[in-house]
Chains A and B, each alone.
Chain A
Amino acid sequence: MIEADGAGRTFRVRGRVVHAVRDLSFRVAAGEFVACLGPNGAGKSTTIKMLTGILTPTSGRVRVAGLDPSRRRTALARRIGVVFGQRTTLWWDLPLRDSLELVRLLYKVDRKVFRERLDEMCDLLDLGGFLATPVRQLSLGQRMRGDIAAALLHDPVVLVLDEPTIGLDVVSKAEVRDFLRRRCAEHGTTVLLTTHDLGDVERLCRRVLLIDHGRLAFDGTVDELRATAPGRASIEDVVAELYLRSRTTPRTPPLPLPAPDGPSATA
């Protein structure tokens, strides 16, 4: 469902060529729930942008849902759902219901099918109580649930979640995770999740990709990840050790942190 074959992406920053991602190869099968980990600036966002058609790889190739993301952007957009935890697709001044209704028109979802999906979302995400509330009055947890609903109402085959639990309290996190696990398993949705919250990984994912210095540093199950640092009690400690190990190896060439992230730097 998701394929990367030697995918790389360079940026020119003040005349210097910076490799944000280099020679990345992995495959995600249909229905898998995969976490993509890595320290800040490792190339996670660049990877996600290549997979969603926002950035074109400068080397290698990627395919998502059978399409080349940058060439078939619009066709791909109909098949994938994207949640950027730090941003919102919802209309700030309008009731949540209106933003969700717009998804129906944007993705041409049949009215009856849409009704059923929305009922399911309301049920599982408990949206009913604030469908009529303007988005600016929602709590972060409510807003995030609204954003997740908006990304799923057209029933995408691939869901890309970029830090979907950032800033949420423990209860909201648990609700979001429970929903994602259940909904995506039932619909066979393929999910790629980036996060810094290892609770997300433990609760949701069997498989972990670790990107560091723009390369794939680890690809395996959560248990295999644990085994890389025996004696460490929690997965946080395991990942911290992996990140620290990579820090001691020299960075060639050094990565400027802002460049591979946010399009504010890339635009």
Chain B
Amino acid sequence: MTVIPGHGAAVSLYPRLAWYGFRRHATYWAAALAGAFTNTVFGVLRAYVLIALWQARPGLGGYDAADAVTFTFLTQAFIGPMQLFGGGLDLPERIRTGDVALDLVRPASLQLWCLSEDLGRAVYLFVVRGGPPTLVGALLFGIVAPHAPAAFFLSVALGVVVSFAWRYIVALATCWVMDDRGLAVLSMVLTTFFSGLMLPLTIFPGWFGDLSRALPWSAMAQVPADVYLGTADPARALGFQALWAAVLLALGALMTGAARRKVVIQGG
């Protein structure tokens, strides 16, 4: 019998982990609601900034003012499920405290284990932290209707996978740097800007704009928002996200192997 880590675990294990991830985060509903409130308030502030911008430059980045306002509240709604400010995984803490030893004696893939739990977390936060900003945005400013709802939900799901794959890489890097805080800050800066949360990436001209839209972070907010608005071809957008998801998950899997060897063989 050849042993491939993770392939021995029951198929029903991972859906169960997602369900536990959902319920685990549902325990902290007050924190989620507080987060939703903050995301909504900042959404209103951002909306006014973008309204001012689009009044001065109508049609900027291919959006009209209504698109820009919708973009604002959608990306605010993504902060929770996509963890755009980082975090959401227990792994860095478990590596620091040594609890990861327990993860290493489980006959399951560490990456799939964390992914499953994270998907459950994202579903919960999509509802609890995504609903309020979208609703308030619709009531106060009016937001446009989704262009392709099914493609949009698929795009959000792929965005969560890309977000997980990235955060998992950052988390595992703790194995090499001892302290993950510096990495967490770097990741937060990259993610908040290049996801399109600060400003829509569509407004940046030239090579910088092209680059920002090609990086994986755009898959976490810019791309799903564009699928919603109909400003991106859904098939192309989903393909772009799927590609980054595959690349980052593969990189994470390689790092898992390297981290295991580092701990197991080098021990230091």
Residues of B within 8 A of A89 (CB): 102
Query: Would you call the interface of chain A mostly helix, strand, loop, or mixed?
Result: mixed
Q: Given A54-B101, A263-B100, does the pair A102, B263 have CB atoms closer than 8 Å? A: no
- Which B residues, 5 to 21, have Cβ-Cβ distances below 8 Å to chain A? 5-6, 8-10, 12-13, 16-17, 20
A108 within 8 A of B: yes
Number of A-B contacts (CB under 8 A): 109
Residues of B within 8 A of A107 (CB): 107
The reply to whether B268 and A98 form a contact with Cβ atoms under 8 Å apart is no
The reply to whether B101 and A263 form a contact with Cβ atoms under 8 Å apart is yes
The reply to whether B10 and A105 form a contact with Cβ atoms under 8 Å apart is yes
The reply to whether B106 and A106 form a contact with Cβ atoms under 8 Å apart is yes
- Which A residues, 133 to 191, have Cβ-Cβ distances below 8 Å to chain B? 134
Q: Given A73-B5, A106-B13, does the pair A84, B108 have CB atoms closer than 8 Å? A: no
For the complex, what is the distance from the CA of A266 to the CA of B178, rounded to whole Å?
10
The reply to whether A267 and B100 form a contact with Cβ atoms under 8 Å apart is yes
The reply to whether B267 and A55 form a contact with Cβ atoms under 8 Å apart is yes
The reply to whether B24 and A91 form a contact with Cβ atoms under 8 Å apart is yes
Contact with A along B81-119 (1 / 0, CB 8 A): 000000000000001111111101111100000000000
Q: Which of B3, B9, B264 contacts A72 (CB 8 A)?
A: B3
A25 within 8 A of B: no
Number of chain A interface residues as a range: 35 or more
A251 within 8 A of B: no
Number of chain B interface residues as a range: 35 or more
Contact with B along A65-106 (1 / 0, CB 8 A): 000001011110110101010011101111000100110011
Q: Which of A13, A70, A72 contacts B268 (CB 8 A)?
A: A13
- Which B residues, 115 to 142, have Cβ-Cβ distances below 8 Å to chain A? none
The reply to whether B13 and A87 form a contact with Cβ atoms under 8 Å apart is no
The reply to whether B8 and A264 form a contact with Cβ atoms under 8 Å apart is no
For the complex, what is the distance from the CA of A55 to the CA of B104, rounded to whole Å?
10
B175 within 8 A of A: yes
Residues of A within 8 A of B268 (CB): 11-13, 259, 266
B residues with CB within 8 A of A: 1, 3-6, 8-10, 12-13, 16-17, 20, 23-24, 27-28, 95-102, 104-108, 174-175, 259, 262-268
Taking A93-B27, A105-B12 as given, write out 7 further A-B residue pairs in contact, using a Cβ cutoff of 8 Å, ordered by the A residue number.
A52-B105, A74-B107, A84-B102, A87-B102, A93-B24, A134-B27, A264-B95
A residues with CB within 8 A of B: 9, 11-13, 49, 52-56, 70, 72-75, 77-78, 80, 82, 84, 87-89, 91-94, 98, 101-102, 105-108, 134, 259, 262-264, 266-267
21 examples of A-B residue contacts, CB within 8 angstroms: A49-B101, A53-B264, A56-B265, A73-B3, A74-B4, A74-B6, A82-B105, A87-B97, A87-B98, A87-B99, A91-B24, A105-B10, A106-B9, A106-B10, A263-B95, A263-B98, A263-B101, A264-B97, A264-B98, A266-B267, A267-B263
